[in-house]
Homo-oligomer: A and B are copies of this chain.
């Protein structure tokens, strides 16, 4: 038997793309073995809980990425200038991560329909921590009036832009919404 040792960490991003493209129910083990190149033996070695554990690992991985790359920087910028810089960085990173709307938000997609129930805690946490970190940065950047509300508006805009960009198969839909949101956050370049 050819032995090519794999690591759990290498598999998770592949699983993420599969769940993004096919959803939880549509991601069959046959598809997963084909795309990861791993047999069921290896798969169940790394994820004894099966598909459910795979999806949970993917969500945790995504959550970790956003925590590191988005939320932490948002919380970091202490003065108004630092806050504005981290806000600008957020929009740049979000555009790159979602590939201008070509890549869907797995956590948003899982929030729709019955999949939500299985992963409610992580879904809720993901959006809540994002909104709070963003609201803090907005407040420090000078939006004293209603930063929590504006933060909600931004998250709604991002999620909606992903849906509409995919529906229309047009990246510009996403980019235009990002420009509107940037402007609303006082980031006219």
Contacts and interface: CB of A to CB of B under 8 A. Distances in A.
Nearest to A104: B112
A139 interface: no
B167 A124 contact: yes
B26 A114 contact: yes
A23 B21 contact: no
Number of copies of chain A assembled together = 2
Nearest to A22: B114
A90 interface: no
A5 interface: no
A104 B25 CA distance: 17
Contact of A128 (B105, B158, B168, B176): B168
Given A153-B180, A159-B160, A160-B157, A116 B167 contact: yes
Interface in A151-189: 152-153, 155-164, 166-169, 173, 176-177, 180
Given A23-B113, A26-B26, 17 more contacts: A22-B114, A25-B25, A25-B26, A26-B113, A26-B114, A107-B167, A108-B167, A111-B164, A112-B163, A112-B166, A124-B168, A126-B167, A127-B164, A156-B160, A159-B160, A159-B164, A160-B160
